């Protein structure tokens, strides 16, 4: 009898990520995921617990390497170059994706929120925490004199969050990095986040 191949969790997470990214969370049933992973449903539940738990692991894994991940690390020095670098990286990564898949978090928020069921509360919490972190960084930028001393950091944080989400969506049709950056730079100028 042939010995079963070893289950590679990272490879399984990669496959499940692409299934969800392409078809959405709702289309990624345990049955379809199990079939795609080449494992029985019982093995799926043994390995991941539930579809929601698998999704949470996928999102956590993705967030650690997402283009905006540097915003959540310890920050020293000027804030605006960090924000500009993250935004430029989003433009670069999204333009370089030939299939225009976008960010799995943004795609999932668009698909599942608002709701109190399934992974929607986790996604809502991620978006809220992200906006809060951007506001914290902008407060530091304000203290360091990088932005106007009367700047409303909460309003700016919401605008930047909207910009990042918008870039992920718009990059599905605006494919050029220079056009995405032009949009970004124009927005940053309008928000007073680029010194002229």
Q: Is the pLDDT of residue 2 over 60?
A: no
56 shares its domain with 72: no
133 shares its domain with 41: no
Measure the CA–CA gap between 60 and 143, rounded to whole angstroms.
31
Please compute the mean of the pLDDT values over residues 117-133 and round it to a whole number.
97
For 170, other C-beta atoms within 10 Å of its C-beta total 16
Position 196 in a domain: no
Position 150 in a domain: yes
- Position 80 confidence tier, pLDDT thresholds 50, 70, 90: very high
Position 139 in a domain: yes
73 shares its domain with 20: no
Longest Cα–Cα distance of the chain, Å, equals 73
> Which of these three, 18, 46, 61, is where a domain ends?
61
- Position 35 confidence tier, pLDDT thresholds 50, 70, 90: very high
Among 98-102, 132-136, 164-168, where is mean pLDDT lowest?
98-102
* Percent of the chain with pLDDT strictly greater than 70: 96
> What number of CA atoms fall less than 13 Å from residue 40's CA on the CB side?
4
pLDDT given at position 22? 87
- Position 7 confidence tier, pLDDT thresholds 50, 70, 90: confident
Position 146 in a domain: yes
CB 104 within 8 A of CB 21: yes
pTM of the model: 0.90
73 shares its domain with 131: yes
54 shares its domain with 119: no
163 shares its domain with 76: yes
Position 147 in a domain: yes
Structural domain range at position 140: 68-190
CB 58 within 8 A of CB 17: yes
The residue to which tokens 């668009």 are assigned: 110
> What is the torsional sign of CA 70, 68, 135, 108?
negative
Which CATH number does the domain housing residue 127 bear?
1.10.357.10
140 shares its domain with 49: no
Region of residue 151 (phi > 0: left; psi between -120 and 50: alpha; otherwise: beta): beta
Q: Is the pLDDT of residue 1 over 60?
A: no
- DSSP H helices, the chain, are 9-23, 30-37, 41-48, 51-63, 80-96, 104-112, 120-143, 153-170, 177-190
- Position 3 confidence tier, pLDDT thresholds 50, 70, 90: very low
154 shares its domain with 184: yes
> What number of CA atoms fall less than 13 Å from residue 34's CA on the CB side?
16
- Position 5 confidence tier, pLDDT thresholds 50, 70, 90: low
The residue to which tokens 């928000």 are assigned: 191
């Amino acid at each position: 009898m042939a010995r079963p191949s070893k289950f590679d969790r990272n490879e399984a997470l990669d496959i499940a990520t692409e299934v969800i990214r392409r078809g959405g969370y709702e289309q990624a049933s345990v049955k379809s995921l199990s079939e795609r992973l080449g494992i029985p449903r019982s093995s799926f539940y043994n390995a991941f617990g539930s579809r929601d738990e698998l999704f949470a692991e996928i999102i956590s894994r993705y967030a650690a390497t997402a283009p905006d991940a540097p915003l959540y690390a310890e920050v020293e020095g000027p804030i605006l170059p960090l924000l500009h670098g993250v935004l430029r990286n989003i433009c670069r990564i999204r333009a370089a994706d030939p299939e225009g898949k976008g960010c799995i978090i943004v795609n999932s928020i668009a698909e599942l929120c608002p709701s109190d069921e399934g992974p929607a509360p986790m996604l809502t919490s991620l978006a809220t925490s992200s906006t809060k972190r951007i506001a914290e960084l902008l407060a530091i930028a304000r203290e360091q004199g990088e932005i106007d001393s009367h700047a409303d950091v909460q309003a700016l944080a919401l605008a930047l969050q909207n910009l990042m989400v918008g870039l992920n969506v718009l990059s599905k049709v605006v494919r050029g990095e220079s056009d995405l950056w032009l949009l970004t730079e124009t927005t940053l100028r309008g928000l007073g986040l680029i010194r002229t």
